[in-house]
Amino acid sequence: MSARRFFRSPWRTAGYILLVIVTLLWLVPFGQAILTSFRSYDDIMIRGFFSLPQTISLNSYREAWVRGGLSRYLPNSFIITLPSLILTLLFSSLSAYALARFRFPGNRALYFLYVGGTMLPFQVLMLPVFRLTNALGLYDTYWGLIAFHTAFQLGFCTFLLRNYMRTVPGEILEAARMDGCSEFRIWWQIMMPLTLPALAALATLEFTWIFNDYLWAIILLRSDSLKPVTAGLATLQGQYVMDWTVIVAGALLATIPTVIVFIFLQRYFIEGLTLGATK
Amino acid sequence: MRRKMFRSRLTPYLFLIGPLILYFIWVVGPMLYTIYLSFTNWDGVSSPAVTGWRNYQKLFRDPVFYISLTNNLKWMLCFITIPVVVGLALALVLNRNIPGAKFFKTSFYSPMVLSLVVCGLIWSWMYHPAKGLINETFRAVGLDMLAKGWLSDRRLVMWAIIAVGVWRQVGYVMILYLAGLQGIDPTLVDASRVDGCNRWQTIRHVILPLLTPVTVVVVVISIIDSLRAFDLVSVMTRGGPYYSSSVLANFMYIEAFNNYKMGYGAAISVILFLLSAVFIFIYLWRVLQTELEY
């Protein structure tokens, strides 16, 4: 429908205006955060939120980055997220392949175990996992957190990949089998490339999830030098109780990686979300 | 020949062994171990001793438990109503290529990209009693009596936090419904129009019934999410003032890691699990049904 025809009806125009207003209100939290981050807290405190800024500067960002420790927390987030992401995709594609392509006793039971685990309120695992990392000497290391993320995300990834792998036509795999390809090579050289769209969607979604995790970071890490950015922000909040501009600037800095991923891989992000829920 | 058959029967297990070991060590095992811990007096340092039902008896007499449970129920109630209605409405509107649909969609699901910690911090500043945007706006338009201590008033604080959760959830629900709408055969909608249905009747009698599977998923996910609620509360209030914004997950965290009553914390998490188990089974049952359609 052309824009002109669309706006011919007054009701439709009114509805459209309402939609625009609601959308803009939805974006207000972002707007106010960005505006705040460029001002000084004294300026807001003395002259109020609705005043022309006295000065506009990047001081709050600098403060959050250097003294607030974001220069340390942000790299930590990547150190934790990337290995977890790669490992969980690798392991889940193995189990998904087995569940999607082989008949064996317990197939469906295992599938349900994975799906059920996805829905678990993960707090249930908190204390045993805490104890386990202590026992294994993984408490307060990157590896404890990486191991847990890898294992916990297996449920969702296996669920999604298994359903995707079932849609791959069996003839392709059968042909490879006839040619004497080993099952392992079929998985790696035929199934994995064919699963690439699902893997991309999943990787985008999982990156955001693991990157944004807060609970496990505060449970399995104690040292400030190891914390990812979510846990780091909570520390920052305690440190700068009286300076909201620094906290807000830090929060905005912390979102840059996921926003970049979202901007460039938006399509995959949405695909991942809907694949998971409509299958 | 026999060896080959044996090998091919073994193959799926070779693929499964690595992931399953990981999954049992970190997910299935801990799940069961929590149940054991909930019957002990573990303090996190010394080895746990079994104390029977004592943690549960204490829990059912603990007023904070009931406050937290009620708060989780409030959360759940809001989550299965507001985002579902708003998300569905948005999906219905934005599914028809209106001008700027892409901008609207992106705006509504953009909060999903932020971590809950970031959402909590940004909104805490919006709720700031003196200079936060919300109170400043009320004062600027002369509605001073509406300027409240959003996070310090015991009657308001829970709703203020839930509002942040809703803000983030609406876009998610919208995406799921949009995907559901894409899957609807347009000829069905056309047929209903030919039969003389107006737009509302088409939605009510054709589209909504076809979206039922999506609605089931949305409701189950919303319920599970509301039982998992932790990050927002932890960042915005830590359950205060006077436990008025405490939720089960946060209550459990404080008992276990601040008061070193890990056995007690485990009992709280078992209750949390039992509450969600019902909905996990509903979900699994639905998955089973789609399985059987294959």
CA distances from A85 to A79, A100, A146 (A): 11, 21, 9
Q: Is residue B173 part of a domain?
A: yes
The residues near B265 (Cβ < 8 Å, ≥ 6 apart) are A126, A127, B252, B253, B255, B256, B257
**In a domain? residue B62:** yes
Query: Do A46 and A98 reside in the same domain of the chain?
Result: no
Residues of chain B predicted below pLDDT 50:
1
> Considering only CB atoms, which chain A residues are within 8 Å of B238?
none
Is the same domain home to A265 and A131?
yes
Tokens of B109: 């699901």
Q: Same domain for A79 and A169?
A: yes
Residue A129 bridge partners (DSSP): none
Write out chain A residues lying below 8 Å of B128, CB-based. Answer: 244
Confidence (pLDDT) at B1: 44
- What CATH number is attached to the domain comprising A263? 1.10.3720.10
Distances (CA, A) of B13 to A98, B7, B24, B229, B264: 7, 10, 15, 36, 39
| Mean pLDDT calculated for residue range A233-241 | 84
Q: What is the pLDDT of residues A17-38, one digit of tens each?
A: 999 999 999 999 999 999 888 8
A170 vs chain B: nearest CA distance in angstroms? 15
- Are residues B190 and B280 in contact, defined by beta-carbon separation less than 8 angstroms? no
- In a 3-state reduction of DSSP, which class is residue A182? coil
CB contact under 8 A, A154 and B23: yes
Q: Has residue B101 been placed in a domain?
A: yes
Q: What is the pLDDT of residue B121?
A: 92
Which residues constitute the domain of residue A162?
68-278
In a domain, B240, yes or no: yes
Q: A124 and A16: one domain?
A: no
Q: Quickly list DSSP for chain B.
A: -HHHHHHHHHHHHHHHHHHHHHHIIIIIHHHHHHHHHTTB---SSSPP-B-TTHHHHHHTT-HHHHHHHHHHHHHHHHHHHHHHHHHHHHHHHHTS--TTHHHHHHHHHGGGGS-HHHHHHHHHHHT-TTT-HHHHHHHHTT-GGG---TTT-TTTHHHHHHHHHHHHHHHHHHHHHHHHHHTS-HHHHHHHHHTT--HHHHIIIIIHHHTHHHHHHHHHHHHHHHHH--HHHHHHTTT-STTTT--HHHHHHIIIIIS--HHHHHHHHHHHHHHHHHHHHHHHHHHHHHHHH-
Looking up tokens 């939290």 gives: A29
| Cis, peptide link before residue B241, omega less than 30° from 0 | yes
Of residues B98, B111, B284, nearest to A16 (C-beta): B98
Domain range for B185: 38-293
pLDDT at B10: 83
* Pair (A40, A97) in one structural domain: no
Give residue A2's pLDDT.
65
For residue B293, the model assigns a pLDDT of 67
In the DSSP assignment, the letter for residue A258 is H
Determine the average pLDDT of the residues in A59-79: 89
| Local confidence band at A151 (pLDDT 50, 70, 90 cut-offs) | very high
A158 and A53 housed in the same domain: no
Q: Which of A108, A121, A262 sits opposite B113 (nearest CB)?
A: A262
Pair A101, A28 in one domain: no
Q: How far apart are CA A152 and CA A59, in angstroms?
A: 39
Query: Which residue in A104, A125, A248 is closest to B125 by CB distance?
Result: A248
CA–CA separation, A26 vs A262, rounded Å? 18
Q: Answer yes or no: do B117 and A274 touch at CB < 8 A.
A: no
Cβ within 8 Å, pair A102-B12 = yes
Residue B252's pLDDT is: 94
Q: Which of A122, A76, A50 is nearest to B136 (CA)?
A: A50
Comparing CA positions, the residue from B102, B241, B133 lying closest to residue A48 is B133
Q: CB distance B16–A116 less than 8 Å?
A: no
| Listed residues A11, A46, A62: the one ending a domain | A62
Rounded to 5 degrees, φ, ψ at B155 are -85, -20
Whole-structure pTM value:
0.90
pLDDT of residue A51: 77
Give me chain A's average pLDDT, please: 88
Long-range contacts, A176-185 (Cβ 8 Å, 24+) = A183/B11, A183/B14, A183/B15
Separation CA B41–CA B81 (nearest Å): 39
Torsion of CA A54, A55, A60, A63, to 10 degrees: -120
More confident residue, A39 or A54: A39
* Residue contact B31–A120, C-beta within 8 A: yes
pLDDT at A276 over 90: no
CA distance A84 to A228: 13
Q: What is the CATH number of the domain that holds B84?
A: 1.10.3720.10
**Contact between chains at A119 and B220 (C-beta distance less than 8 A):** yes
Phi then psi for residue B13, to 5 deg, are -70, -30
- In this structure, is residue B29 part of a structural domain? no
**Is there a domain that residue B116 lies in?**
yes
Total domains present in chain B: 1
pLDDT of residue B7: 59
Q: What is the pLDDT of residues A219-234, one digit of tens each?
A: 999 998 999 999 999 8
Longest dimension (CA), chain A: 78
Does B266 touch chain A if contact means CB atoms closer than 8 Å?
yes
Q: Which of B89, B20, B229 is nearest to A122 (CA)?
A: B229
Q: Is residue A54 scored above 80 in pLDDT? A: no
For residue A50, give the DSSP letter. S
Say yes or no to pLDDT of A279 above 60: no
Kindly report the number of other CB atoms within 10 A of residue B13's CB atom: 13
Are residues A14 and A74 both part of a single domain?
A: no
